[in-house]
Structure 1
Amino acid sequence: MPASAIRVFDDIDDYTTSIRAGQYEAVIAGRGSFEAKLVRIDLQRLWMQRFTENLPHIARAATSPSRAIVMFTTSPTAPISWGGRDVTADVVVRVGIGQEAFHCTRGPAQWASLSLPVDDYFATAAALTHHDVQWKSDGLAVRPSAEALARLRSLHAAAGALAEHAPAVLANAETARCLEQEIIAAMIASSTEAAEEDKVSVRQHQAILRRFRTLIAANADNPLYLPEICTALGVSVRTLQRCCHEQLGVSPLRYLWLRRMNMARRALTASSPGQDTVTAIASRYGFWELGRFATAYRSLFGEAPSTTLHRVL
């Protein structure tokens, strides 16, 4: 049954848990109050999503092993990367099936994704292209023709406009079937052309970041610090810095600081004044100078930590 939904968010955790075909854990990487909009369209086999975000963030993502996912930008936007690959205006990224990767935006961003069941994608691609499509486990950047990418963007935008302004039209089974067929054809055409090969150094750095993500996942509720990370990964600080700058757009120290700040914000949101204090929570996540913590927190999130703690949910 075709369906669509439009949601707006002011909490990044609520936003990331609403994204289809993957699991995301994100930290806000820019100053201000977070705002995002998610347009979600489910046809028969095809799932589509359109994303609008006002702040940069770094997300540790794990995609579904049952969906073949393609992503691209929808308008001129701040730099976006997936697994160390820049998602530029002329590129479509075939996300690795069941891939774990960092997804980073470096400013206000508008992007989109669409996915098919894995078997459906390969069967349809074989039918339309008459050759077997190779899908790398860690994803691949594809540079399609300008015409193919423009058609994909146009059809995806049309579906988004229907979801926002005429959802009853989109819910019609025959309309949805016709639109789905057109978009699937555009998806295949844009994601099976001119794949770009990765350099050896890129693959090596991706392997280090995979171990980095695994370490973070194993310590989801615990702050981590640079010395213990480098020791656990068996890499130098300089190597980890290169990897993080390439794939996250920030230094490892900056990422770890942002992670701890976001962990503190989640703890403040989940607590109440009678149960916990700002000082106790800040100290728990490695912020021992309360004045500096409060200033940095206000700068990053647009409010004092005490305001977050006292907010009635």
Structure 2
Amino acid sequence: MGQFLLVDSRKLDGFEGLHQAVHGSHVDVMQLGRGRLRGTLSHVGIGDFSLSIGTFNVGMRTQRVSSDDKLIIGMLLAAEERVAHWSFDMQLNDVLVIPPLLEHDGVFHGASAYAAMRFDLDGVASLFGGEARLSDPDTWRSRSHFKADPESGAIASRRLVRIMSHLRTNTEGLTPSTAEFWKRAIVECMAANVMSSLPPDHSSWLPSARRLIRRVEDYLDEAGTRPVHVSEICAALSVSRRTLHRAFQEVFGLGPVSFLRHKRLCAVHSILRESAPGSTTVAAVAMEQGFYELGRFAQYYFAVFGERPSQTLGIAALRAQRAGIARA
């Protein structure tokens, strides 16, 4: 495992396993439903940031004491029956905010699944940068419930589970730059559901689209070949996600996510073309550039370049072979 990625995944055999329902935070648990508890619990730690995803098959009562000084933001991924946290009735993909040093009380009336990320409150300014309401630490000092949009919430939930799955099976670890990208990708899933329940923000000033695009491209040039998440750009340039989206649509006819994906695809293409035979794999390069679904990555790659990534990597081998023949 790389220095910046810690992974722990286990099957649950009894409710006691849920005492560590959130990585780094102790939770008091009482089983409410009948039957032997079965489920799974997975943690991914990226530095001081963690993501936990748990599933269980019977009703549970959960309580957290007020000794944890980290911010916890959770999402309800699945529920067969009612789920309530404090006085909030949770629906699928809703987001719950548990501020630091605040006691928490939750009841799952049946089989459920959840995701929870835990990090320092000071980190919101960076991770939620560009959205004034979300990047302000005061926003997260009170317990809150954000109702998810049914469509976008389901997309965010599936994406979060896929990210966990791929990070869990990554055996090569993460570099500091890719660790930052994956943190932001996880945060983005929950932020999408938070933003969908907030009233529209009409106070943003829309700069000249082309001037903003130039600033973004200058920032990307300084970042070099490492993957850059949209939220990182928003934080660095102090611009909202909506403003950034409008600028990219005006200039390129596509959103910033699509633009950054194309840029990352180009980075993969260049790395594969210049790689020495046997020095790397398509999967390793794709993961390094933030692609965690290799099948979809291959589709994107072929659509853009008209060749499979393995063919691009083969060009480097062929070039090296020809060079060896020429020297012989």
Normalized against structure 2, the TM-score is what? 0.52
CA contact (8 A) 2:69 2:101 kept: yes
Deviates more, 1:186-195 or 1:52-61: 186-195
Change in Cα spacing, 1:133 to 1:18, as seen in structure 2 (3 Å) is closer
Instruction: Note if 1:51 corresponds to 2:54.
Output: yes
Query: Is structure 2 residue 124 aligned with structure 1 residue 139?
Result: no
Counterpart in 1 of 2:162? 158
Aligned match of 2:76 in 73, 77, 101? 73
Return the match for 1:16 from 16, 19, 24: 19
1:167-225, Cα deviation, whole Å (9 max, x unpaired): 315x23254332222222333343355369xxxxxxxxxxxxxxxxxxxxxxxxxxxxx
Q: Where do 5+ consecutive residues of structure 1 fail to align?
A: 197-313
1:295 counterpart residue number: none
1:63 CA drift (Å): 5.7
Length, aligned pairs only: 193
Percent identity between matched residues is 12
Tell me by how many angstroms 1:10 deviates.
1.7
Q: CA separation of 1:178/1:149 partners in 2, compared to 1, >3 Å: closer, same or farther?
A: same
How far the C-alpha of 1:90 sits from its partner, in A, is 4.6
1:46-73 CA distances to partner (integer Å, 9 max, x unpaired)? 3101111111111222366432221112
CA distances 1:267-295 after superposition (whole Å, capped 9, x unpaired) = xxxxxxxxxxxxxxxxxxxxxxxxxxxxx
Which of 172, 175, 179 is 2:174 aligned to?
A: 172
Q: Which amino acid aligns with 2:132?
A: H
Corresponding letter in the other structure for 1:160: M
1:39 maps to what in 2? 42
State how far apart, in whole Å, the 2-side matches of 1:90 and 1:187 are. 9
Native 8 Å contact 1:59 1:103 kept in 2:
yes
Structure scoring higher RCO (CA < 8 A, sep ≥ 6) equals 1
SS in structure 2 of the partner of residue 6 of structure 1: strand
CA apart distance, 1:4: 0.9
Q: Which runs of 5+ in 2 are unaligned?
A: 200-328
Aligned partner of residue 168 in structure 1, secondary structure: coil
SS at match of 1:172: coil
How far apart, CA to CA, are the structure 1 residues paired with 2:79 and 2:27? 24
Partner of 1:130: 132
Q: Structure 2 vs 1, CA of residues 67 and 147 (structure 1 numbering), >3 Å: closer, same or farther?
A: farther
> Could you tell me how far apart the structure 2 residues matched to 1:175 and 1:123 are?
16
Equivalent-residue separation in structure 2 for 1:28 and 1:93 (angstroms): 21
Give, in angstroms, the shift of residue 13 of structure 1. Answer: 2.3
Structure 1 residues 145 and 44: alpha-carbon distance in aligned structure 2, compared to 1, 3 A threshold: farther
The one-letter code sitting in structure 2 at the alignment partner of 1:186 is C
Asked if 1:28 is matched to 2:25, the reply is no
**What's 1:149 paired with?**
153
Question: CA 1:81–1:63 in 2, change beyond 3 Å: closer, same or farther?
Answer: farther
Q: What is the rounded CA distance, in whole Å, between the counterparts of 1:129 and 1:136 in structure 2?
A: 13
Helix, strand or coil for the counterpart of 1:187?
Answer: helix
User: Could you tell me which amino acid in structure 2 is paired with residue 5 of structure 1?
Assistant: D
Corresponding residue for 1:104? 107
2:190 — aligned with what? 187
Separation in 2 of the partners of 1:116 and 1:17?
15
Is the contact between residue 18 and residue 29 of structure 2 (CA under 8 Å) also seen in structure 1? no
**Match of 1:119?**
122
Q: Contact conserved, 2:69 with 2:100, CA < 8 A, in 1?
A: yes
Q: Which amino acid aligns with 1:142?
A: F
Give the letter aligned to residue 164 of structure 2. G
Alpha-carbon spacing, 1:64–1:89, altered in 2? closer, same or farther (3 Å)? farther
Q: In structure 1, the residue corresponding to 2:122 is in which secondary structure?
A: helix
Q: Give the CA RMSD over aligned residues.
A: 2.7
TM-score (norm 1): 0.54
